[in-house]
Amino acid sequence: MKSIWAKGLLEEKNVMLAFRCRLTPGEDCELKLAASNLYRLCVNGKMIGYGPARAAHGYSRIDSYSLEKWQDEEITVTAEVYSANINTFYTVDEHPFFACEIYSGGTLIADAGDFECFRMTGRVQKVRRFSFQRSFTEIYHLSADPAEFSPADYVPAETEEVPMNELLPRYVGYPRLDTEYAEKTGTGSVGMDDSRRPWRDRVYHNIDPVKFKGYRPDELEEDSGEEAGKFVFRADGGEGYVLYDFGRTLTGFFTMTVKAQSDCAIHILFDEVLTNGYPNPFRNDCCNVVKYSLKAGEYRLISFEANTARYAVCCITGGKAEIADFGMVKYENPDAASCEYDTGDAELNSIIRAAVNTFAQNAVDVLTDCPSRERAGWLCDSYFTSRSERLFTGKNPVEKSFLENYAMCPQSPFLPEGMIPMCYPADHNDGVYIPNWSMWYILELESYLERTGDQELIDKSRDKVYGLVKFFSRFYNEFGLLENLENWVFIEWSRCNDGDFIRGVNYPSNMLWSAALEAAGRLYDDSALCEKGAAIRKTAAEMAFNGEFFEDNAIRDENGKLTPTGHTSETCQYYAFYFGAATRESHPELFDKLLKDFGPHRDPEKVYPDVPQSNAFIGNYLRLELMLRAGCYDQVLADCRGFFSGMAKLTGTLWEHARVTCSLNHGFASLAAYYIDTALKNGGKG
């Protein structure tokens, strides 16, 4: 395929180009497209595609669209291609390209060189990052409806051939891109409070050429976050803002019709919940603001990046405008979005529906953590979410894409030899990694093989697995246990992840590693790995148990002796049972205690106050896993009701934490449906 980009813009940050071609599709007309980083495909101004499905550095997945419905009709095909050219958790930091071929009846009738190229100057270039994890916010200055290709907003650009990535097939289905409209729930006036302290995240003042690329504050042309942070809303029926509610959290592209009676600006502020009656665009540590500065006229607008919201408020400043048909073009997994499930119980149905919503928004191309702040393909999360994919779709193509990306991931120059990224495709230029997540990666490979029988992908992943085995070997102590793991050692979001619980010999990490080694041994018929894993589990079990609980860690005293710390977190107990360091038969009293006295509804100030409580991820999920293994199906259903029903009611999705904080739409949480389904199929009484 011919690959092109605008001359002089290959290394520019935050650039959008529009490639336009007029043609008359013939019989059996097909368009093949590859691009980096993101593209939107339109025919006659209507979006028909968005992508690509993400791939590893140096690779791109090719997409194919039928144009046959416009057969014998002259059409305009437009591909808008976006290049971030910075490191993120969402897209890889690589030079952009656009490659396209159009076939009719098997004959090539056009390629990328037949497309006109325009630089979309209507999108402001020098803006702040959307978040620590994603690239840039969206700010537009438009003089006319984008479909008109106004010369003030689209400047012709000369192109040149550029290198392109190696092309891979797309395994996942194409999103349907249907529109859901919001209900208008309020209007009022907007004021400005200049005394408000502006919201700035951890990267705002730390932009540099390597670790966190972007634009420094003194380089910004505009900062929609600074502006939106000063808005003051008054529910007085005025015409300064319109508040909208989608009824549940959605992910996609904001769309609206605007009639601007005069020049004006429209800010869209959005979030998954309301804070003091309005969406707080900074609640989730990102800048949930899209801004349009418009000349007088009529517009049909659609934002470019996928974002997540239940609520949105459109603020009109500097002039007057009417907004109609405010909605969202949904960007969801097409196989899951239509999944129907009826348990005969309204409350359980609502939880499963929320799980479906959560999964569909977190599995468009790879398995992601959240579709909002990060859109990142995290390990460990994926281990759980992959079972949701099988339940909702009966297959695992999204997981296949996710794991293939890891198999093809080159060694990062910013990570130690053998270590893989904690989330991918991404660039971790700051050198941060989670050693534990690479252990979950090996466990997921084994469970993927069990689900799919795809030995080819397992073979592709062999070097990554053995690279990890070699990496961890340098941390073994005289007992054969991992000691003083480096970087971001992560057990879960609770007290058990504090430094004093993690340092030294961390027993949950060793229990996890023992299971990973045994999984690697089974995957590659390596008995030495199985034996090493079994030995680690046995030693960790013996050293960690204090007669009542398993302790989280041991550290060296002044004489170099490994000494227990006395820390006993709830989550450590779940790790012990989940990874076989303990069983219901070997530790019956502890197991029964966990079932009866622990869990998300325990009052940690009154019941075992010296045992820090688990959070949702992953302690409470491991607890549900253990209850399923033990056949406690009624309790699984009861706990799912108590833990998930409030989430389902508030946002129609399931959350990262056990409270209203951070992401309220987190991929792994969709596993709630698996727990309910499994419990019901095994005789659980709803």
What does the pLDDT look like over 242-257, one tens digit per residue?
A: 999 999 999 999 999 9
Do the Cβ atoms of 309 and 328 come closer than 8 Å?
yes
Asked, for residue 535, whether it belongs to a domain, the answer is yes
Residue-level pLDDT at 616: 87
Compute the distance between CA of residue 131 and CA of residue 146 in angstroms, rounded to an integer: 26
- What the block records as the tokens of 109 is 């009738």
Closest CA to 385 of 346, 440, 465: 440
Compute the distance between CA of residue 476 and CA of residue 505 in angstroms, rounded to an integer: 10
Q: Are residues 139 and 259 in the same domain?
A: no
Asked, for residue 515, whether it belongs to a domain, the answer is yes
Compute the distance between CA of residue 48 and CA of residue 67 in angstroms, rounded to an integer: 10
For 633-646, the pLDDT digits (tens) are: 999 999 999 999 99
DSSP string, 558-569: TTS-EEE-----
- Other residues' Cβ atoms within 10 Å of the Cβ of residue 676: 27
Long-range CB contact pairs, 461-466, < 8 A, 24+: 461/403, 461/406, 461/407, 462/524, 464/406, 464/407, 464/409, 464/420, 465/520, 465/523, 465/524, 466/520, 466/524
At 316, which CATH number? 2.60.120.260
For 653-665, the pLDDT digits (tens) are: 999 988 888 999 9
Q: Are residues 349 and 248 in the same domain?
A: no
Closest CA to 673 of 428, 355, 302, 452: 355
Residue-level pLDDT at 369: 97
Q: Which of 273, 303, 330 is the last residue in one of the domains?
A: 330
Residue-level pLDDT at 100: 98
Range of the domain at 500: 334-681
Compute the distance between CA of residue 217 and CA of residue 227 in angstroms, rounded to an integer: 14
For 252-276, the pLDDT digits (tens) are: 999 999 999 999 999 999 999 999 9
Compute the distance between CA of residue 521 and CA of residue 508 in angstroms, rounded to an integer: 20
Residue-level pLDDT at 341: 87
Q: Are residues 277 and 338 in the same domain?
A: no
DSSP string, 3-61: EEEETT-TT-SSEEEEEEEEE---TTEEEEEEEESEEEEEETTEEEEEE-----TTEEE
Residue with the two structure tokens 């390990």: 379
Alpha carbons within 13 A on the beta-carbon side of 114: 14
Q: How many domains, the chain?
A: 3
- The C-alpha angle with vertex 619 and arms to 683 and 682, in degrees rounded to 5, equals 10
Asked, for residue 200, whether it belongs to a domain, the answer is no
Q: Are residues 298 and 406 in the same domain?
A: no
Kind of pairing, strands 289-294 and 138-142? parallel
Burial letters for 215-227: b for 16+ Cβ neighbours within 10 Å, e otherwise? beeeebebbbbbb
Do the Cβ atoms of 117 and 157 come closer than 8 Å?
yes
In the sheet that holds 562-564, the strands lie side by side as 505-506, 553-556, 562-564
Report whether pLDDT(397) > 90: yes
For 486-500, the pLDDT digits (tens) are: 999 999 999 999 999
Report whether pLDDT(340) > 90: no
For 467-480, the pLDDT digits (tens) are: 999 999 999 999 99
- The C-alpha angle with vertex 98 and arms to 158 and 111, in degrees rounded to 5, equals 85
For 109-156, the pLDDT digits (tens) are: 999 999 999 999 999 999 999 999 999 999 999 999 999 999 999 999
Report whether pLDDT(686) > 80: no
Residues in the chain, total: 686
- Other residues' Cβ atoms within 10 Å of the Cβ of residue 67: 22
Average pLDDT over residues 77-106: 97
Q: Which of 312, 330, 348 is the last residue in one of the domains?
A: 330
Q: Which of 330, 362, 395 is the last residue in one of the domains?
A: 330
Helix residue spans in 195-239 (DSSP H): 224-228
Residue-level pLDDT at 277: 97
Alpha carbons within 13 A on the beta-carbon side of 172: 31
Residue type, 460: K
- Other residues' Cβ atoms within 10 Å of the Cβ of residue 443: 19
Q: Are residues 569 and 632 in the same domain?
A: yes
Q: Are residues 132 and 272 in the same domain?
A: no
Report whether pLDDT(337) > 80: no
Report whether pLDDT(11) > 80: yes
Do the Cβ atoms of 279 and 269 come closer than 8 Å?
yes
Compute the distance between CA of residue 655 and CA of residue 665 in angstroms, rounded to an integer: 5
Residue-level pLDDT at 339: 84
Asked, for residue 205, whether it belongs to a domain, the answer is no
3-state helix, strand, coil split of the chain in percent (to 5) is 30, 25, 45
For 605-617, the pLDDT digits (tens) are: 999 999 999 998 8
Residue-level pLDDT at 430: 96
pLDDT band at 163 (very low <50, low <70, confident <90, very high): very high
pTM greater than the 0.95 cutoff: yes
Asked, for residue 210, whether it belongs to a domain, the answer is no
Q: Are residues 590 and 664 in the same domain?
A: yes
pLDDT band at 574 (very low <50, low <70, confident <90, very high): very high
Asked, for residue 615, whether it belongs to a domain, the answer is yes
**Terminal-to-terminal C-alpha distance of the chain:** 56
Asked, for residue 223, whether it belongs to a domain, the answer is no
Asked, for residue 301, whether it belongs to a domain, the answer is yes
Q: Are residues 262 and 388 in the same domain?
A: no
Average pLDDT over residues 189-215: 94
At 442, which CATH number? 1.50.10.10
Q: Are residues 186 and 155 in the same domain?
A: no
Q: Are residues 513 and 414 in the same domain?
A: yes
Report whether pLDDT(685) > 90: no
Compute the distance between CA of residue 102 and CA of residue 360 in angstroms, rounded to an integer: 30
Closest CA to 302 of 242, 257, 241: 257
Q: Are residues 316 and 345 in the same domain?
A: no
Compute the distance between CA of residue 536 and CA of residue 518 in angstroms, rounded to an integer: 10
Q: Are residues 363 and 408 in the same domain?
A: yes
Mean pLDDT for the chain overall: 97
681 contact partners, CB below 8 Å, separation of at least 6: none
Residue with the two structure tokens 């019901």: 680
Do the Cβ atoms of 95 and 24 come closer than 8 Å?
no
